Structure 1
Amino acid sequence: MPGNAERIAVLGGGPAGIAAARWLGARGFSPVVFERGGRLGGLWTQGPCSTASAEGLTANTPRAATRFADLDHDEAVAARPSADAISAYLTRYTAGFALGTEIRLRTSVDSVARHPIGGWMVRSTTAATTRREEAFARVVVATGFYAERSFGGLRGADRFTGPGGLVHSSGYRGAAEHRGRRVLVIGGGPAGGAIALDLAGAGVSVALAGPAWLSSPAAHPARCDAALAALCAEGRLLPAPPVASVTTHGVYFADGTAETYDSIIAATGYRPALSIFPPGLEAALVTADGRIALAESTFHPDLPGIAVLGHFDQRGAALPVIELQARAVAYLWSGVAAMPAQARLAESLAAARSGPRPDLAETAARFARLAGVSPPHTHCAAAALMAAGHLVPELFRLAGPDADPRAELVVAREAAALCRRSPVGSAPDD
């Protein structure tokens, strides 16, 4: 382990910030975590600010892939963990791996600016309005992809007058308030899928608009979610086409049809929350269409010493990929892995600005290459899990720095379980 004395500011105490603190500390750095809430854990622990806090809501990903590598869930946790179980898990992980880290709760970061002699100046304010200004050699931005709600250009969203209203997924508080209503969930990502599962499981009449595979899961095995597909097969969840616009009492779909609904839940994502940077720096990160453009999904060539975590397509089992990204940053900054050349960073940034966003499996493969922990090409079980998008964290502990002999058993077990599943459920994490 290198003897780094560098203090690194970690902005955000959610899963990405927790993982960053754990792995930076493991490489000898001194991370300082800034968290505006009263506890670590981000959306999973902050109560009324998030979809994750809805009573009874479960993750849309399996237990084996809804965790980090060095700590499993308690044995009593369900196959798809509840929000409470994930919150408890993150609390246990923090207690076990963030020891020695300086954690500043109820502290908001007001701005990050270049320091005149190098590094970065971080200005923060505590709940007691105490203001601080400190210099850090590097900064990890883990403020979360889920910070500012976006309705994704949903046309006519303000016109809907149904009795249940139109709410963002972050305002979902459980199935009880939608009983007896016809509900449309827009968006097939983790939040949309989890909400649709919750509503259908409670007997609510619900349609899900977004994922193309939902109408024909057998034709899209690499994108299929077994639980959602099963509900569709049973007639308890109705697949719907993409939404073209919202009307007073329902929606027009892209195929020209229309339906009326009592409630609409828009799982349409979030906008990047990077207002802590001066306008010039924020403009370097955010594209005209509101996406964050980053080299290797993490860096910007014009912002040396800054790593942005978690701003990638998180549809699927994101926790192992967040941890993998945190490891990559720790390895690159400590010299365990080689930082990509400037030309490579520029090429990656150009692709991020103009090309489609890679899916979660592609992003995981990228971070694994950066960290030097790619699963061996000859490892059949690992290849099967990667192809199916079943990204258990042990995939990235088979080889390279911090390889763990126990990972082999987990990967073999998960690959065997994957083979036993039905063809429709071949990729449970999307």
Structure 2
Amino acid sequence: MPYVEIRGNSIRVKWWSGEYQLDADGKATRRKKYESASGPDPGVPFGDETEAYNYGLDREHEVRHGRNIPRANAKTLMRDYCWMWWEAQDLRPMSMGRYKSRLRARIIPYWGERPVGDITAWEYDAWKKGLKKASAAGEISHHYVDQLLSLFNLLMTDAVVKYKLRAESPIIKHGRRGRYAKKKREVKRPMEMAVLHHLARNAYTIWGYTGWTCVWTAAFTGMRPPGELWGLRREFASPTWPASDPDPERRAEAAERYGPGKMPALRVQWQQQYVDGVRTVVDPKYDSHRTLVVPPFLHEMLTVLLASHDSEWVFPGIQGGEMPRNWYDSYWMPMRDGAPERGGRKDLVRPEISPVPEMAGKRFYLVRHGHREWLDEAGHPRTAIETRMGHEVAGVEGLYSNLTPAMEGEIVNSLQERWQRFWGMGVWWAPPFPSSLPDGASRQ
């Protein structure tokens, strides 16, 4: 039972916290640990002994029913909790980096000095409103706001359920309520071959036949750019795979279905990410290792590309090494937005690059979206589409469905037909081949 102490004009109540004190060896003794309070809220004293006693009864009720939050836990500062929470996560390097960036940029500067257990729904609503105002003013994107709110929700949920730092979350979700605000979506348009040809031609101007092939590979495989493209090693490209696969079991199984005389295919085995500033090869997103059949024209294009360099990567950088960390600025933006003529040494002269207006302000990732559109237009089975995109089909459909050789053959045919239909429309520019074709290869 709680007991009340009166000291001068103040009233304090003590109750058992449900824990026992520890001795020097860390073992629990028979001495109980007590908590106390001088009021129901910080700075608010109890009005009388009855109020204090009832408050103590409520706390002991929480202890008996496992809902007690030790006051020391609730007083953990957000700046400490955020980093302890981050260290406890086991996510992919890119996700860890994004969480760290959001904690540093917005969450800790705002909430850092607040105890985890003291954050109220009022305070959360005010912070959320401020973020939306910043988004409306163009200071941050609405997508970034959603990411911040989602991360804060994870922090508060784990503080309640996992770490017992507070009794309930300050985030209360309702159904649709208040003024309706339509969510902004990225404006997309159908991915047209002429637009991709423009991008590929610009890419050739920037970094040669590698750039030309890279754009068409992204468009006709749906690989996640840029990580899966940069992580494509020579031994997993269609001219060499599956015979060059280092895993003997996977090599033998794949050889029954892919390779010379069968369907050409490449293997998405890795992606590249920066981990603590170091370029690192990691598993693809969602562990979506997969085999992608490629149309004949792309197989020939990759064959020519691999014959033109000796890099371990299918798509090396301009100087033949790894792709630079500032790829977005030095490669994608000139490809998309154009660039003036550049002088200098003979080997550095670059002609003017014309902008691609249809892609203004857009991400390279939308090329992957366009590949999904093509598969939908061609009417391929959902199983074939989702497997190719690196997704899992949920539920019973995913359990019973399977990607068959016939499905893959239809994908190859529809993609090759799209390519041939485009080139049959008129005279389109194509780059010269960087080297003589290997035996058995033909010009697409």
- Name the TM tier (shorter chain): under 0.3
Higher strand share: 1
Higher helix share: 2
**RCO comparison, higher one (Cα < 8 Å, 6+):** 1
Choose 1 or 2 for highest CA Rg: 2
> Which TM-score applies when normalising by structure 1?
0.21
